Structure 1
Amino acid sequence: MSKVCDITGKRARVGNNVSHANNKTKRRFYPNLHTKKFYIPEEDKFITLKVSTTALRTINKHGISAVLNKARKNGNVLV
């Protein structure tokens, strides 16, 4: 299962671990993802999405229906 947000499209980024001696080794920065179930009253069903905490805040602010419509228009949502 990939570590990509279904709403925002956030995915893992690449960076460096930097030691005290300034040695650099590759590492990955993962998004803060949570698997969450949402109820959509228009479709009268539940859907499960893997969303980042930023997407959760957006859903709380605008509502799940508006966020899903915008994400579908951008091509991010798989459902």
Structure 2
Amino acid sequence: MARKCDLTGQGTRFGNNVSHSHRKTRRTFKSNVHKKRIFLPEEGRFITLNVSTRALRTLQKKGLAAMMKDAQK
């Protein structure tokens, strides 16, 4: 599954593991993305999106239409 949110664009980030002696090695921070079926009341149908858990919380608060409008900006 793709590790990128369809609504927010949040994806994999990169950084360093830092040991006790401050030796640095590269690592990845993967986003928490899930495939969800979301109902569109305007069109009366379901769509499937890859959505991060933070975007799911915002989706419940704002609604899909408001989030899609914000995503286009």
TM superposition shift of 1:21: 2.2
Are positions 1:35 and 2:35 aligned together? yes
Tell me the TM-score normalized by structure 2: 0.86
Task: Give 5+ residue unaligned stretches, structure 2.
Answer: none
Tell me the TM-score normalized by structure 1: 0.80
Runs of 4+ in structure 1 off by over 6 angstroms are none
Task: Give 5+ residue unaligned stretches, structure 1.
Answer: 75-79
Are positions 1:63 and 2:63 aligned together? yes
Identity of aligned residues (%): 51
Q: Secondary structure at the match of 1:25?
A: strand
Aligned pairs, how many? 73
Q: CA RMSD in A?
A: 1.4
| Other-structure match for 1:6 | 6
Q: Secondary structure at the match of 1:50?
A: strand
